[in-house]
Amino acid sequence: MTRLGLMGGTFNPPHYGHLHAASCAREDLQLDRVLFIPTNLPPHKQLPAGSATAAQRCEMVRLLTQGLPWAELSDIEIERGGASYTIDTLRQLTAPDRHLFLIIGTDMLLSFDRVWRSAGEICQLCTLAVYARDADEQQLLNEKKHSIEQKFQADVRVMERAPFPVSSTEIRSGGDLERLVPPAVAEYIRENQLYDRKNL
């Protein structure tokens, strides 16, 4: 049985928070590989004006994961086009010899039963591996885990790890690149003058 982690996101841009959650999941859940899957069009949020293109977001994910033998960019959602629903990706990637783990942060678990399309079927196709994005979220996550498990007969693992608090929004609005993204991603953002950052 292959244990495959899936980390979906807009990655606008990708950052150490994404990498931290994925690499913790790999260790915590003995994953063979983690696919980083940039959305084409996120169904539940607008890409803000001045966002990187899909090709640029893919390239930055490639740079984020380069040199990590267990991590890989997947352009499956970009290729599919249109709005990117996780359920469609899971249906494409499911296989009898694979255990799929969907790696998500706090915000995604909290909105799971409210906004995710086909939440029940998602829970049948994968285990949810949840990482806190900020300190003091553990109790909230555990409460939500129990309600989702009861509602959908889901397998939800809330992992106990010190968080790496950062968001793409923080980076787009001028956050310290050196601290928040790997050097190759920082260089790409600078060279391509992404996000109209004022402190370049």
How far apart, in whole angstroms, are the C-alpha atoms of residue 58 and residue 130? 23
Instruction: CB nearer to ligand ATP: give 133 or 145.
Output: 133
Q: Give min distance, CB of 96 to ligand ATP, in A.
A: 26
Residues, the chain: 200
Under a CB-based contact definition with an 8 Å cutoff, are residues 152 and 113 in contact?
A: yes
175 scored as a contact of ligand ATP (CB under 6 A): no
Q: Give min distance, CB of 14 to ligand ATP, in A.
A: 7
- Stretch touching ligand ATP by CB under 6 A, among 12-20, 65-73, 138-146, 180-188: 12-20
Instruction: CB nearer to ligand ATP: give 133 or 152.
Output: 133
Q: Which of 101, 152, 164, 195 binds ligand ATP (CB under 6 A)?
A: 164
196 scored as a contact of ligand ATP (CB under 6 A): no
In terms of DSSP H, where are the helices of the chain?
Answer: 16-28, 54-65, 76-80, 86-93, 106-110, 112-115, 119-125, 138-152, 168-172, 177-180, 183-191
Q: Please name the residue that has the structure tokens 């959602």.
A: 77
Q: Which of 4, 5, 6, 10 binds ligand ATP (CB under 6 A)?
A: 10
**Contacts of ligand ATP in 42-101 (CB under 6 A):** none
How far apart, in whole angstroms, are the C-alpha atoms of residue 24 and residue 110? 20
Q: Classify each residue of 167-184 as buried b or exposed e, where b means 16 or more C-beta atoms within 10 Å of its C-beta.
A: bbeebbeebebeebbbee
108 scored as a contact of ligand ATP (CB under 6 A): yes
| Single-letter amino acid, residue 73 | L
32 scored as a contact of ligand ATP (CB under 6 A): no
Alpha carbon of 170 to those of 8, 90, 106, 119: distances in Å?
Answer: 19, 29, 17, 29
Q: Give min distance, CB of 74 to ligand ATP, in A.
A: 14
167 scored as a contact of ligand ATP (CB under 6 A): yes
* Site residue total, ligand ATP (CB under 6 A): 20
Q: Which residues of the shown chain bind ligand ATP in the complex (CB under 6 A)? A: 9-12, 17-18, 21, 104-105, 107-108, 131, 133, 163-169
